[in-house]
Structure 1
Amino acid sequence: MIASPVLSPLLSWAGDPKLKNWAGNYTYSTDRLHQPVSVEELRALVKKLDKLRVLGTRHCFNGIADSTRNLVSPKPDEQAVAINAPARTVTVDAGLKYGQLAPYLHKQGFALHNLASLPHISIAGACATATHGSGVKNGNLATAVSGLELVTANGEVVKLSRQQDGDAFRGAVVGLGALGVVTKVTLDLLPTFMMKQYVYESLPLSQLKQHFDAIMASGYSVSLFTDWQKQRVNEVWIKSRLEAGVVFRPEAEFYGAKQAKKNLHPIADLSAENCTEQMGVAGPWYERLPHFRMGFTPSSGKELQSEYFVPRQHAVDAILAVERLRNQISPHLMISEIRSIAADDLWMSPCYKQPSIALHFTWKQNWPAVSNVLPLIENALAPYKARPHWGKLFTMAPAKLQALYERLPDFKKLVQQYDPKEKFRNEFIARTLYATDAAPRR
Structure 2
Amino acid sequence: MSERVTNWAGNIVFGARALHHPASVDEVRELVARGGPLRVLGSGHSFNRMADTSGDLLSLAGLPRLTEVSADRRSVRVDGGIKYGELAVRLDALGLALHNTASLPHISVAGAVATATHGSGVRNANLATAVSGLEFIDGRGDLVVLDRSHPDLAGAVVGLGALGVVTALTLDVVPAFSLRQYVYDNVPRASIESSLSEMLADGYSVSLFTDWSGLDANMAWLKRTAPMSGEWFGARPADGPRHPVPGMPAQNSTDQSGEPGPWHTRLPHFRMEFTPSAGAELQSEWHVAATDGLAAIDAVASIRARVASVLQVCEIRAIAADELWLSPNYERDSIALHFTWIADTEAVEPVVAEIESVLAPLHARPHWGKVFTSGGESLRAEWPRFGDFAKLVERYDPDGVFRNPWLEAVLG
TM-score (norm 2): 0.97
Identify if the C-alpha distance between structure 1 residues 353 and 35 changes in structure 2 by more than 3 Å, giving closer, same or farther.
Answer: same
Instruction: Flag the 1:226–1:107 CA change in 2: closer, same or farther, 3 A.
Output: same
Tell me which amino acid in the other structure corresponds to 2:41.
L
How far, CA to CA, are the matches of 1:385 and 1:374 in structure 2?
A: 15
1:108 aligns with 2:94: yes
Q: Which residue of 2 aligns with 1:228?
A: 212
1:63 to 27, 49, 53: 49
Note the C-alpha offset of 1:76: 4.3
How big is the alpha-carbon RMSD for the aligned residues of Structure 1 and Structure 2? 1.3
Partner of 1:21: 7
**Alignment of 1:184 onto 2:162:** no
Decide whether the 8 Å contact of 1:224 with 1:337 is kept in 2: yes
User: 1:412 corresponds to which letter in structure 2?
Assistant: A
Q: Is the 8 A contact 2:24 2:64 kept in 1?
A: no
1:329 aligns to 2:307 (yes or no): yes
Tell me by how many angstroms 1:34 deviates.
1.1
Distance in 2 (CA, whole Å) between partners of 1:432 and 1:414 is: 14
Whole-angstrom distance in 1 between the partners of 2:309 and 2:64: 42
Alpha-carbon displacement from aligned partner over 1:280-311 (angstroms, at most 9, x marks no partner):
02210001000001121459821000000001
Counterparts in 2 of 1:280 and 1:298: CA distance versus 1, 3 Å: farther
Deviation string 1:211-255 (CA, Å, 9 cap, x unpaired) is 0111001100001100112221000000012xxxxx2x4222111
Q: Are 1:362 and 2:330 matched, yes or no?
A: no
Moved more, 395-404 or 75-84: 75-84
Point out the more displaced range, 34-43 or 298-307: 298-307
The Cα offsets for residues 243-289 of structure 1, whole Å up to 9 and x where unpaired, read as xxxx2x42221111000111100112111010000020221000100
- Structure-to-structure mapping, 1:69-108, within 5 angstroms: 69-77=55-63, 79-108=65-94
Tell me, yes or no, if the aligned pair for 2:106 and 2:275 is still in contact at 8 Å: no
Q: Which residue of 2 aligns with 1:418?
A: 396
Q: How far did residue 22 of structure 1 move? A: 0.7
CA spacing shift, 1:38–1:129, aligned 2, 3 Å: same
Choose which of 181, 184, 196 in structure 2 pairs with 1:197: 181
**2:293 counterpart residue number:** 315
Q: 205, 210, 217: which one pairs with 2:201?
A: 217
Q: Which amino acid aligns with 2:209?
A: F
Measured at CA, do residues 85 and 148 of structure 1 come closer, stay the same or move farther in structure 2, by a change above 3 Å?
same
Per the alignment, in what secondary structure is the counterpart of residue 253 of structure 1? Answer: coil
Number of the residue aligned with 2:264: 286
Which 4+ stretches in 1 moved above 3 angstroms? 75-79, 297-300
What is the SS of the residue equivalent to 2:298?
Answer: helix
How far apart are residue 145 of structure 1 and its match?
0.3
Instruction: Select 1:171's aligned residue among 139, 155, 163.
Output: 155
Partner of 2:236: 258
Match of 1:53 among 39, 49, 58: 39
Q: Secondary structure at the match of 1:254?
A: coil
1:311-360 CA-to-partner distances (Å, cap 9, x unmatched) read 10100011111012111111110000001000000001010001111100
Letter in 1 for 2:11: N
Choose 249-258 or 382-391, whichever is displaced more.
249-258
SS at match of 2:162: coil
Letter of the aligned partner of 2:295 in structure 1?
D
Q: How far off its partner does 1:172 sit?
A: 0.2
1:78 and 1:193 map into 2 onto residues whose CA distance is 28
**Equivalent position amino acid for 1:401 in 2:** L
Aligned residues: 411
Q: Which residue of 2 aligns with 1:5?
A: none
* Secondary structure of the corresponding residue to residue 86 of structure 1: coil
SS at match of 2:222: strand
Instruction: Give, as a single letter, the amino acid of the residue that structure 1 aligns with 2:221.
Output: W
CA–CA distance in 1 between the matches of 2:71 and 2:276?
32
Contact 2:80–2:166 under 8 Å retained in 1:
yes
**Contact 2:8/2:277 (8 A) holds in 1:** no
The DSSP-based 3-state class of the residue aligned with 1:201 is strand
Q: Alignment partner of 1:105: what SS?
A: helix
Shift in Å, 1:50: 2.6
**Residues 366/188 of structure 1: CA separation in 2 closer, same or farther (3 Å cut):** same
**Partner in structure 2 of residue 432 of structure 1:** 410
TM-superposition CA deviations, 1:132-182 (whole Å, max 9, x none): 1100000000000000000011111010001x203x010000000000000
Residue identity (%): 50
Q: Return the match for 2:118 from 120, 132, 135.
A: 132
Alignment of 1:267-286 (within 5 A): 267-286=245-264
